[in-house]
Chain A
């Protein structure tokens, strides 16, 4: 368990990725699914930062900045879609929105 190496950070990242994946797969509430997506993106960021520090190269942090940018855009558009959808059909359960299902 000691000393803390880069591998520790990678395992933390994969555990957070797992939590996010399970959240996306199993929850019904769309707001919570979007929150789980944020967890997944944060797991990716931990991975990038760990390797950035491992190789003492700043590119990983640049990529993390871009990932955060995309996360912000995704959250804004996703929540906008959620509000637009809620106006047409007042439900936030992902499996009740089945217009395009057959």
Chain B
């Protein structure tokens, strides 16, 4: 029972924050709504027994990316933009996407959890190691090459963003 309460609470945070993010006129309000949404996603991670990702989500998204966004909002003057028209004229494409997904969600609400058939869940075995240790075991053995490639990607992103933001290259 308690997990259902927490699920719906965090789902409300995620969806409410998301809707506010894309509808607010002021970009700072959008960013704060996005923080609420990302904290909700972190709670969802915790409910799904991904404790490491919960911590990563809080530290990296809420602490890192959002500060980056707020810095850029500060650098780029958005006062003028908040007085202009907020939406472009692509509402037809957005309506098509919303209709498609809305039909799926409506079908789910109508039929309940049996609406979509998933393969049977794996049996919860006795796990000797904790979440972080299991992630580390797999990450540094099976996924070692992607891990190293991710470091190259981050290096490229660091150099790229510095070069982009410099006044004179």
Number of interface residues of A (CB under 8 A): 76
Instruction: Take A19-B18, A80-B160 as given contacts and tell me if A72 and B64 are in contact as well, using a CB distance cutoff of 8 Å.
Output: yes
User: Which of B84, B97, B108, B113 makes the CB contact (< 8 A) with A25?
Assistant: B97
- Compute how far the CA of A40 lies from the CA of B21 in the bound complex, rounded to whole angstroms: 12
- Compute how far the CA of A70 lies from the CA of B78 in the bound complex, rounded to whole angstroms: 27
Instruction: Take A53-B48, A58-B134, A77-B157 as given contacts and tell me if A7 and B108 are in contact as well, using a CB distance cutoff of 8 Å.
Output: yes
Is B88 a contact of A2 with CB atoms below 8 Å? no
Interface size class of B (residues with CB under 8 A): 35 or more
User: Which of A22, A46, A58, A66 makes the CB contact (< 8 A) with B22?
Assistant: A22
Is A34 a contact of B53 with CB atoms below 8 Å? no
Some 10 contacts from A to B, beta carbons below 8 A apart, are: A2-B4, A19-B21, A34-B69, A38-B65, A46-B44, A66-B146, A68-B60, A72-B64, A80-B163, A80-B164
Indicate the member of A21, A69, A84 with the most B CB atoms within 10 Å. Answer: A69
Interfacial residues of chain B within 22-73, with CB under 8 A of chain A in the complex:
22, 27, 30-31, 34, 37-38, 41, 44-45, 48-50, 52-53, 56-57, 60-61, 64-65, 68-69, 72-73
Query: Is A94's CB within 8 Å of the partner chain B?
Result: yes
Distance of A37 from chain B, by nearest CB (Å) = 11
Interfacial residues of chain A within 42-68, with CB under 8 A of chain B in the complex:
42, 45-46, 49-50, 52-59, 61-62, 64-66, 68
A14 contact set on B, CB distance < 8 A:
101, 104-105
Is A15 a contact of B15 with CB atoms below 8 Å? yes
- Chain B's closest residue to A39 (CB) is B18
Is A56 a contact of B125 with CB atoms below 8 Å? yes
Is B48 a contact of A8 with CB atoms below 8 Å? no
User: Which of A2, A8, A82 makes the CB contact (< 8 A) with B72?
Assistant: A82
Task: Type the 1/0 row for B98-131, where 1 means its CB is closer than 8 Å to any CB of A.
Answer: 1001101100100011011011011111000001
Distance of A89 from chain B, by nearest CB (Å) = 12
Distance of A77 from chain B, by nearest CB (Å) = 5
Is A1 a contact of B4 with CB atoms below 8 Å? yes
A72 contact set on B, CB distance < 8 A:
60, 64-65, 154, 157
Is A61 a contact of B97 with CB atoms below 8 Å? no
